Structure 1
Amino acid sequence: MSDYSLPHQINILLHIISGSLALILAIIAMSSQKGKRIHKKSGVIFLICMSIVIITGVIGVFVFKANGFLLSLTLLSGYQAFSGYRILSNKSSIPKPLDIVIAILTLLSGVYYILYFKSIGFFWEPGLIYGTIGALFAIVIYDFLRYLIPRNKFKNRWLYEHIYKMIAAFTALLAAFFGTVFPQYHPYSQFLPSLFGTVLAIIFILYYWSKNKTKNRRF
């Protein structure tokens, strides 16, 4: 790191600190009671840290020519965090201008990312990059298709969507962390955290689905 310029070192430091804090805050949010103050506060600060991670990640790749694969994970985790927060705020399938704009910008960023790194040559396994961007596109496309779900059919789906997206954002960030810290274990250090996140999301979703089902029976 001593070979980098001072601005580059500062950018890396901000990226590492904000990413590490985001991971810690995500764990606090997941382990705290949903809807309570600590859950909400840790979630909001998590989003702020994620914003810094995205900004420093973009600067690192396009200004300082850092490793490009991490940007794909940053785009994925950043959009999932944004969309996961927005569905919690809206709790409906009604389109909102901000969500549409961000979704379109994310799609365009993903396309530009693929074209840009294809032109300069991939530094990481292309399959991992295409898989990550493919997952990003799948989430964005789902968000557009969600607008077709009638309001009376949407009901509690916002909760499960929020759970999945926030956990997915956490695990994408975790994959970037392990992929950087343990490069000798590629590609396992990238996809194993994602597998862990998928299992974790399923457990949480099944728990709250069962809880809501039991609650509805009482009424």
Structure 2
Amino acid sequence: MGSLKLSLEAGAPKRLELTWGLFWKNFEVRFDGRPIGSAPDAAALKAGVEFRLPDGSALQVKLKQTLSVLRDGVPVPGSDGDPEQQMRSAGNLLYFLAALNGVLGVLGMVLTNDVLEQLGMGFGAVLFGAMLGVLGVFTHRRTRWAPAVAIGLYVLDSLLTFIDAAEAGTRPTGGLLMRAFIIFTLYRAFKASGTPAPSAQGGPGVSPQM
């Protein structure tokens, strides 16, 4: 089971609720607790479904890599396509990576551990974590250069990891997949940084009486 509560406008109450079962079955949309539409399964969501909100605006839902929720073609605030949400997600990811590198780096400096040594955890990891933390702050502030710099760092880190693995005769598949996810998340934030937030784009409101 899954659920998602959203506001139609930034800062407004979360009156829109999406719920679904295992493998996206029995997808339902409710507004103020009242059902306004449903979809039977993932196939229907991948094709895209549209529901009419009480104010007459159209709510478009489509399952891509993630769930896209649009209102009259504009991402709903807090949904996956919302530029603000994408920036927050990237910033939070950078905070997590900063903390992870910092903790492992400190452990690498104070402990004698072969695994940490092989991973290169030490002062360099602490410094890298500090850089990621700063980039996380500026990503949250919607600065365009912060996710771009973070992408550059992880692309470079991935190339160096691949070269080291090739010289050692190993395949760092898992590590590269994780880096690919990080770079993808940062790239979405970079694109979002140049896009106005839904609240700034305007659009019809839903009156409290509806």
Q: Which category of TM-score, normalised to the shorter sequence, fits these structures?
A: 0.3 to 0.5
Where relative contact order (Cα < 8 A, 6+ residues apart) is larger, the structure is 1
- The alignment's TM-score, normalised by the length of structure 2, stands at 0.32
- The alignment's TM-score, normalised by the length of structure 1, stands at 0.31
Rg: which structure is higher? 2
Which has a greater percent of helix? Answer: 1
